[in-house]
Amino acid sequence: MSSVSPSSVSLGSRVPDEDDRRFVLTLGCLDRPGVIARITSLIAEFGGSIVEAGYHSDADTGWFFTRQAIKAATVPFEFARLRARFAALAEEFGPETEWQLLDSGARRTAVLLVSKDGHCLHDLLGRASSGELPADIAAVIGNHPDLGAITEAHGVPFHHVRFPKDPAERGPAFEQVRELVDKHDPDAVVLARFMQVLPAALCAHWAGKAINIHHSFLPSFVGARPYHQAFARGVKLIGATCHYVTPELDAGPIIEQDVTRIDHADDVRDMVRQGRDIERVVLARGLRWHLEGRVLVHGRRTVVFS
- State in angstroms the smallest separation of the CB of 216 from its own copies: 10
1 is an interface residue for its own copies by CB under 8 A: no
Between 168 and 265, name the residue whose CB sits nearer to its own copies.
265
DSSP the chain: ---SSPPPEES-TT---GGG-EEEEEEEEE--TTHHHHHHHHHHHTT--EEEEEEEEETTTTEEEEEEEEEGGG--S-HHHHHHHHHHHHHHT-TT-EEEEEETTS--EEEEEE-S--HHHHHHHHHHHTT-SSSEEEEEEESSSTTHHHHHHTT--EEE----SSGGG-HHHHHHHHHHHHTT--SEEEESS--SPPPHHHHHHTTTTEEEEESS-TTSS-SS-HHHHHHHHT-SEEEEEEEE--SSTT-SPEEEEEEEE--TT--HHHHHHHHHHHHHHHHHHHHHHHHTT-EEEETTEEEE--
CB-nearer residue toward its own copies: 7 or 61 = 61
Calculate ∠ Cα 40-42-44, nearest 5°. Answer: 65
| Binding of residue 232 to its own copies (CB under 8 A) | yes
Residue 73 binds its own copies, judged by CB under 8 A: no
Instruction: Give the nearest distance from C-beta 225 to its own copies in angstroms.
Output: 15
Task: Choose the binding region for its own copies from 80-88, 99-107, 127-135, 178-186 (rule: CB under 8 A).
Answer: 127-135
Q: How many residues bind its own copies (CB under 8 A)?
A: 75
Residues marked active site are found at: 250
Span 102-121, contacts to its own copies by CB under 8 A: 117-119
For position 144 contacting its own copies by CB under 8 A, the verdict is no
If binding is defined by CB under 8 A, does position 175 make contact with its own copies? no
Adjacent-strand bridge partners of 191: 113, 212
Nearer to its own copies, 206 or 289 (CB): 289
Per rule CB under 8 A, is residue 227 in the interface with its own copies? no
Q: How far is the CB of 182 from its own copies (least distance, A)?
A: 28
- The residues in 4-63 that bind its own copies, with binding defined as CB under 8 A, are 31, 33-34, 36-38, 40-41, 43-44, 47-60
- State yes or no: residue 125 binds its own copies (CB under 8 A): yes
**One of 4, 106, 203, 235 touching its own copies (CB under 8 A):** 235
Q: Is 126 in the site for its own copies (CB under 8 A)?
A: yes
- Looking at 1, 87, 106, 150, which residue binds its own copies (CB under 8 A)? 150
